[in-house]
Amino acid sequence: MIVAARQMHGEGDDRCWHLGAAAPEACDCGLASGILNVRRGTDPAGWVGYVDETIDQSASGSTKGFDFNVLTLSSDPDKRQPHLFYADPLTMPANCLSRYGRQVALLQDYRLWEFAVLVRLASKSESIVFARAGAYFARICSNCPFGRR
């Protein structure tokens, strides 16, 4: 993914690409998309720990907010795959409310069997977004939706 991003967008003052488990510098918005779903043989309890740790990393590395998406337990039970992680769309936002503050939104009105949680934090930095895909971070300068109030 990072190789493709470099080929497509190159390097520049407004963007750079990083490999690692955490963002190398604070950013406005953290995004974890598609990295919380595939357990790869990890037991469910261990995977919940990974999910919580990943969300904590997004929170600590972001100044304005972060978001993540997860497959939903609201999907048809007979269509669920045993190697995938499914979360309760009520529990995840409640956990974020108790851990990161009151500005938490749940989005689940789109056609995929997943939901997104958006958390808005206090903001201080320029508009930089880190998108995490696996162990990769991409810094992309943009207008962060969390900056709008």
**Per-residue model confidence (pLDDT) at position 124:** 42
As averages over each run of 10 residues, the pLDDT of the chain (149 residues) reads: 81 73 76 87 91 91 90 92 94 94 90 92 51 43 42
Give the helix/strand (H/E) hosting 104.
Answer: strand 104-107
- List of residues 6+ apart from 46 with CB closer than 8 A: none
Residue 114 phi/psi, 5-degree rounding, is -150, 175
Determine the Cα–Cα distance for residues 149 and 114; give it in Å rounded to an integer: 26
**Per-residue model confidence (pLDDT) at position 40:** 84
**Per-residue model confidence (pLDDT) at position 149:** 35
Determine the Cα–Cα distance for residues 49 and 63; give it in Å rounded to an integer: 23
Tell me, which fold does domain 2-144 have in CATH? Rossmann fold (3.40.50)
**Per-residue model confidence (pLDDT) at position 69:** 94
Alpha-carbon dihedral sign for residues 28, 33, 37, 40? negative
Domain ranges of the chain: 2-144
